[in-house]
Amino acid sequence: MWREAGGFDRAQFGARMGYSTELLYKIERGTRIPRPEFLDKADEILGAKGKISAMKVDVQKARYPKKVRDLAKLEAKAFEIGEYADAVVPGLLQTEEYARALYALRRPAYGEDELERLVSAQMARQDVIRQHPAPLLNVVQEEAVLRRPIGGKMVLRRQLEHLLDVGRNARHVEIQVMPTNVEEHAGLAGSLQLMRLNDGTTVGHNEVQLVSRVITEPKHVQLLEMRYGMIRAQALTPRESLTFIEKVLGET
């Protein structure tokens, strides 16, 4: 309504905004959730005097599917996040190409609009590690995941390059690799995530197949903390891990 009132057709507005006509169509239909900077720029161009920018809070909530939304709320309250990933690169460290390739593999297959919504939500979820102050993020990643060419060799190479970039330049992020040839491994029961929240509590999170579960029972959280501590001790150190990822990149 604001676009039409401003005398723009979709192509003209897209040219002013720097977005494709197709993407604008998806945003206006509600199948693609706009980022906050989109709303701010649209507000400025259309002279909405803050009325479009004011939608950012509601749009921020709507851009996540429910299970991602619930997880993002917890991550936003955390001062420390620990994750052991045994199947794929953790969502907080995925490139957009890698995330899209993962969602494209799901069966039954997602429609194109839903796939884009899920990828957008995954990328938006990463805002938590770009904010200031950001939580401390420690990830233990299985070696096999670093070698599995999800999306093809070039997608994997760019994902490995991203891990190296983040691991070297983001001081609040530590990446560790669990080599395949280790004899002792405390994580064979599956992936896990731990979040230490600002109110002093710690919660766990686990996602398998169709189930996304937050774990709050103290004795279960303590068990996850014990296992995660052992996993970190058994994995390569962060410095050794970056060297290892660089080696895998050279072999890919």
Question: What residues have CB less than 8 Å from 224, skipping those under 6 apart?
Answer: 192, 194, 204, 215
Beta strands in 4-135 (DSSP E): 78-85
Q: Across the strands, what pairs with 214? A: 205
- Element of type H or E holding 71: helix 66-76
Amino acid 34: pLDDT: 85
Q: What is the pTM of this model?
A: 0.79
Q: Which two tokens stand for residue 103?
A: 């969602």
Domains of the chain: residue spans and CATH: 2-61 (1.10.260), 64-251 (3.30.870)
Amino acid 144: pLDDT: 97
Amino acid 27: pLDDT: 87
Q: Which residues does the chain have with pLDDT short of 50?
A: none
Rounded CA separation 245/70 (Å): 31
Amino acid 63: pLDDT: 65
Rounded CA separation 36/43 (Å): 11
Amino acid 69: pLDDT: 74
